Structure 1
C-alpha cells in the first residue's frame, strides 16, 4: 500500500525529513479504519530498517494488530549512531544548516533515537541481520527469549560475465573499478590518495567510479585537483555492468574506519565474488574475513592510502594475483540457494511457534 512521503535528498537533513514523512504516512495507513487493512489480521509483522523510523512503525503496527514483530536490519544500527559526528567527513565543508544542527539538536535527536531503537529491538520477537558479527553482538546484548538471525544480501546476479583477466607477467597499469554508493561510509578520497601514491611508485592506476552518492561531487573535484586518472559515471542497473566488469582488473570494496562498519558487509562483495572478479578490499571486520578466508582478493586496512597503493603496485607487477579461485563464488551460491532461505524460514517459523504458544 502506498503511503505519503516528502522527497528526499543527499543531505542528512533531507533524508531525515523524508524518513519521518514516510513513517508518518505509514502510520496513517495502518490506523485508517477503512481500506485494505480494515479486516487484516497478520500473524507476524516484519519491518525492514534501512530507515530508522521504520522500526517505530513496525512496533506500532505490531501493537495495532496484536502480532509479534521482526526487525530486519539492513545496516549496523544502532551502532552507527555512535559515529554521527563523522557522517559528513567525506562530503566537504558542511552547510550552515548542518553546522547549526550539530550544536545540540542533532545530538539530542541521536540520543533519543538510540534509546527508542534499543527498546524496540529488545521487545522484538527476533532480529534479522545481514552480518553474522552484528547478529552475534546483538544476541549477546539481547533480552532472554529473542533470537537473532543472519540472512545475507546474496541476491541472484543480473550480470553474467566470462572474465578472462590477463594474469601473465607484470605491468605498469592497473584498471580499478568501484561500482556502488559514493557516500559517507565509503570515504573514497582514500582511494584517490592511493592512486596518487601508486603513480609515484611507478604504476598508473585507472580509476572508474560508477554510482551516485552524497560524496560524489566532492570526489570529482578532488580527483581533478590531484590530477588523478579517474572517470565518474552515472549509476547503472546491475544488468548494465557487464562492460565495467570486463574492463576491470580488480574491483574496489571500500569502507571508512568507523568501528560499527566492522559489523557490516556491503552486498557488492557477494556480487563480485559471484563474478569471480578480484577484490581490492579496504575493509575491516567481517568483510575482511570473508574476502581473506575465501581467497576472493586482497585486503588492506581502511584509511591507509599507502597500504592500498602498495597493493595496487604489487597486483600490477604480479598479475597472477588477479586470478581468484572458485571457492568464493561457490560459497555465495550456497548462501543464496540454501542458507538464506532456510534461515529466513527458521526465523519466521520460530516466531510464529512462540507467539502461538503464548496465545
Structure 2
C-alpha cells in the first residue's frame, strides 16, 4: 500500500506529534508499505529553521527518511511566535503540500492521511484526495474545533480588534462549521481519546476510530527506591509552555508550599513570562530549554514526579496529553492537573495523583501531601499494564493499518 502523510510536525523536530508519527511510520514500513511524508522544513519549536541544530534538507525534493519512508520538505513561513503567525505558517505549508501531492498522479498514493495540528491540514488533504480520487483519513489529535471557542482563538489572534459579538460568532458557529465540513468530507476520522471520539460520532461524521497516543514501556528501566523521609519533593514538567497548560497556576502553588521544587524543561509562548513570574515568587523553580538525550535523562533522574497540566477548559476534558503516557511509561509518578478522561486514566491505572484544573487550594493540598509522604510518589506495574492494554505502539499501528485497508475497499 502507498500511504501519503500530510503533517506540519515531523522529525528531526521534537514533540508529541513527531514521536507519534515516527513510531507509526516505522511500523508501516516494517509491514511492507510505502510511506511518503509531506512536511515543512523542520523548525519547531523555533521560529526559524536555522535555530534547529540539524542538517537542512533541500526543499521540493524527495529524500530518504530514517525509517525507510520518503520525505518531501515544503516551504514554511518564519513565525512571529504569535497565533496568527503560526496559522500563516501552517496554511502556507498545507498549501505547498497540496500542490506537491496533486503532481503525484503517475505514482498515485492509495490513501492520504492528514493530522492536526496544524489546523489547515484537513482542508488541503480534502482537496488533494478529491483531485487524486483516493480515500482520506483525517486525524484530529486535539479536541478541534471545540478548542476554537474554548481557547478564544479569534479574540487572541486579533488582539480584541474585532467586536465581541462578531468574535464569538466566529468562534462558536462559523469556524467550527467550516472545520466540521472538512472533517465530514473525509472517509474516516481518527481521534486519540474515547471521549472526543464519542463527541464526533454525535455530529454526523464519518466513522471514527480511536488510536491513542502511545509510548514504549520497554524503553525505560525501573525507578530508584523510595524517597527518604524529610526530603523535598521534586516535580518535573517537560513540554510546551503555553496558555493551554496553565503552568502559572502550578508555579503559584509551588511557591506557596515549602519543600517543593519544580523544574520546567521546554519551550513555548509563555516560557519567558512564566520564568519572570517565578523569579518574583520563589527560588525553588528552575527553567531549562528544551533538550533530549542524556541532558533530559538527568532531569528525570532528579524528579520524583512528572507534571501533566491542562487549563480549566471544557474541551480539555476530552483530551489526553501525550506526555501523560510518556511519564507513565517511564515508571514515574504523575502529578496530574487534569480533568475528564486524562484524570480517569491516572486513577484507573494507579499512575499518580490528580488535582482539578483551576482549584488552587486542592493543588496546594496535593503538593503538601506528596511532600510529606515519601511513599506517595511510588508506582507499581499497574500503569505499565494499562499502557500495554491500551497504548501499545504495535497495537496502534495495527489499528491504523486495519483502518487503511477498510477505507480502500
Instruction: State the TM-score, normalized to the length of structure 2.
Output: 0.76
- Supply the distance in 1 between the matched residues of 2:219 and 2:402 (Cα, whole angstroms): 30
Deviates more, 1:248-257 or 1:234-243: 234-243
Q: Is the CA contact 2:333–2:352 (under 8 Å) kept in the aligned structure 1?
A: yes
**8 Å contact from structure 1 (residues 161, 246) kept in 2:** no
Please name the residue that 2:358 is paired with.
303
Distance in 2 between residues matched to 1:266 and 1:193, nearest whole Å: 22
* 8 Å Cα contact 1:83-1:258 kept in structure 2: yes
Aligned counterpart in structure 2 of residue 216 of structure 1, from 255, 264, 271: 271
Kindly state the Cα deviation for residue 151 of structure 1 after the two structures are TM-superposed: 1.0
Give 1:107 shift.
5.7
Give the C-alpha shift of residue 105 in structure 1.
Answer: 7.9
Whether 1:20 aligns to 2:88 is: no
Cα deviations across residues 72-114 of structure 1 (Å, max 9, x unaligned)?
A: 11211111011232799xxxxx89x624367688667655432
Gaps of 5+ in 1: 89-93, 354-359
1:223-265 Cα offsets, whole Å, 9 max, x none, are 0122251100000126642111110111110001111111111
Secondary structure of 1:180's counterpart equals strand
Match of 1:63 in 2: 130
Q: Secondary structure at the match of 2:243?
A: coil
Inter-partner Cα distance in structure 2 for 1:236 and 1:75 = 24
Q: Find the partner of 2:392 among 322, 336, 354.
A: 336
Offset of 1:184 from its aligned partner?
Answer: 1.6
For 2:211 and 2:282, the matched residues in 1 are separated by 42
Q: TM-score, normalised by structure 1?
A: 0.86
Distance in structure 2 (CA, Å) of the matches to 1:232 and 1:87: 30
Q: Which has the higher strand share?
A: 2
Distance 1:163 1:172, change over 3 A: closer
Structure showing greater relative contact order (alpha-carbon pairs closer than 8 Å, 6 or more residues apart): 1
Verify the 8 A CA contact 1:220 1:232 in the aligned structure 2.
Answer: yes
CA contact (8 A) 1:197 1:306 kept: no
Q: Which structure 2 residue ranges, 5 or more long, are not aligned?
A: 1-71
- For the pair 1:139 / 2:139, whether they are aligned, the reply is no
Q: 1:259-298 residue pairs with structure 2 within 5 A?
A: 259-298=314-353
| Residue aligning to 2:291 | 236
